[in-house]
Structure 1
Amino acid sequence: MSDHVRDLASVRGATERLLAAAELWDESTVPAPSRLPGWSRGHVLAHLSRNADALRNVLRGLPMYAGGEIRDREIEAGAPRPLAEQLADLRASTERFLAEAALPADWSRTVQLRNGVTDSASELPFRRWAEIELHHVDLGAGYELEDLPEDFTVRETDFLAERFVRHPQVVSTGIRSGDGRLRTTGGGADGPHVVVSGSDAELLGWLSGRRDGSALTVEGGPLPVLPPL
């Protein structure tokens, strides 16, 4: 069960780690490529700021984004800004999200995200935490999957494994982590056809599309191909 108060504290901590790291950059770092195809580090920072505002909208019962094209335009417009402006925006948008989340509310209510996706309001803080942690890695500036908090890695791996459960394009798959825990995902109902084993960081990297899975051990067939998130 989620604990939105704990997750909100984790949002603040993860944001502070990212900001502290980025404050050491020089201006040439912002337009440099990130690990996300076609996006600079400035794109990643702009996206994180606008995502904080978008999730605040969700908490307020508003559409997450005014539209997909507007979302993309806002990220493109924000990407080339100077470093100080980027970081001030990320601080301010995070504080707006956290202030909204501090108001009395029914955290058990169902909320509407993008593309028809719904979730419990109590899961929004974790979704924001995931945005910060994974995109911090995507910046390609010294923060790696191995540096993620252990509790985050476990929960995000659970989340992504669940996302692919019964997916028709994913063969029934067992996912064995370093502690021996076995998760199941994919389309089959009669037990895993393939078992994928590896470190927590490598498993999360594969499930999230951030690593190719070459460091994993696969039994029972080739490494399953996962659709884009």
Structure 2
Amino acid sequence: MTTSGTTPATTPEHDTDLVRTATGHLLSDAVKLEAPQVTEDSQLPGWTRAHVLTHLARNADALVNVLAGKPMYASAEAREADIEHGAGRPLDALVDDVRASASRLESAFAALDSDAWNRTVTLRNGVTDLASSIPFRRWIEVELHHVDLGIGYTLEDLPGTFVDRELANMARRFTEHPEVPVAIELRAEDGRSWRTGAAEAGPEGPFVVAGNPVALVGWLTGRTNGSGLSARGALPALPAL
């Protein structure tokens, strides 16, 4: 993947602070819900707001497992069962679970020294990465699922630094992805661009998708159908996350 965009330099400790702030914002919005609203549909198909909140809590605990060298989840089936079971709880229990699990993850972050941050860890489906990537991965979970709750926090409310980093991250994720057979050039209105998809473009060059960074992130993460973007034809189908 080649890009003329830039990703700001950061540290896992700084990203941990960003996670803490984002979690606080999410919780401050969640506690304003009326009790019945937690059983209403979220913006994720098939999930209520209770499912989203439960997933956020179990994801925090799963990342604690990863940092401890344990499997992220006991199994895919156990992960789904835990979310489904937890979604039946009342709002207060859900909010307390998100808060407590976030605290456990923050404690796990605080226990890591420079050597621990630089070790390789294993996530779901055999994916490996440095431990230092985990705070950013968690930040993604918190920001996007805050949007998914459908309680007033939208893609337009995402921090600009987050949008820039997630745009570069998603471009990397889909680079040479077997389910993205076309070469794609993402063009932001400010002149930055990212290449993703297939390595080789056809005679007409890469398929250009242009728009503002928020609209690009919305499409790449499956939160929109590409509204606000322009292209020479129908947008390519992207793999589910």
Q: TM-score per shorter chain, which class?
A: over 0.9
Greater shift in the superposed pair: 168-177 or 121-130 = 168-177
**Equivalence map 1:11-160=2 (5 Å):** 11-105=19-113, 106-160=116-170
Distance 2:132 2:179 in 1: 30
Return 140-149 or 163-172, whichever deviates more: 163-172
CA distance in 1 between counterparts of 2:234 and 2:80 reads 36
Q: 1:212 is matched with which residue?
A: 225
Q: Is the 8 A contact 1:2 1:123 kept in 2?
A: no
Pairwise CA distance, 1:188: 2.8
Give 1:136 deviation, angstroms.
Answer: 0.4
1:183 aligns with 2:191: no
One-letter amino acid of the structure 1 residue matched with residue 173 of structure 2: R
1:2 and 1:72 map into 2 onto residues whose CA distance is 33
Aligned match of 1:173: 184
How far the C-alpha of 1:228 sits from its partner, in A, is 1.3
- Counterpart of 2:97, as a letter, is D
Q: Which runs of 5+ in 2 are unaligned?
A: 1-8
Give aligned-pair identity as a percent. 52
* TM-score, length-scaled by structure 1: 0.96
Which secondary structure state, in structure 2, belongs to the residue aligned with residue 66 of structure 1? Answer: coil
CA distance in 2, matches of 1:214, 1:136: 20
Q: CA deviation at 1:70?
A: 1.0
Number of the residue aligned with 2:239: 227
> Is contact 1:30-1:80 (8 Å) kept?
no
For 1:190 and 1:38, the matched residues in 2 are separated by: 37
Which residue pairs with 1:202 in the alignment? 215
CA distance in 2, matches of 1:118, 1:157: 20
Q: 2:23 corresponds to which letter in structure 1?
A: T
**Matches of 1:156 and 1:216 in 2, distance apart?**
17
For structure 1, the 5+ residue unaligned runs are none
Higher relative contact order (CA 8 A, sep 6+): 2
Q: Secondary structure at the match of 1:217?
A: coil
Task: Report if aligned partners of 1:47, 1:75 keep a CA contact under 8 Å in 2.
Answer: yes
**CA RMSD of the aligned region, Å?**
1.3
SS in structure 2 of the partner of residue 43 of structure 1: helix
* 1:2 shift after superposition: 4.3
Q: Deviations over 1:166-196 (max 9, x none)?
A: 1233210100112110100011335852111
Q: Which moved more, 1:168-177 or 1:94-103?
A: 168-177
- The answer on whether the counterparts of 1:44 and 1:135 sit within 8 Å (CA) in structure 2 is yes
Query: Aligned residues, how many?
Result: 228
* Conserved 8 A contact 1:110-1:118: yes
Deviation at residue 53 of structure 1 after TM alignment = 0.3
> What amino acid sits opposite 1:156 in the alignment?
E
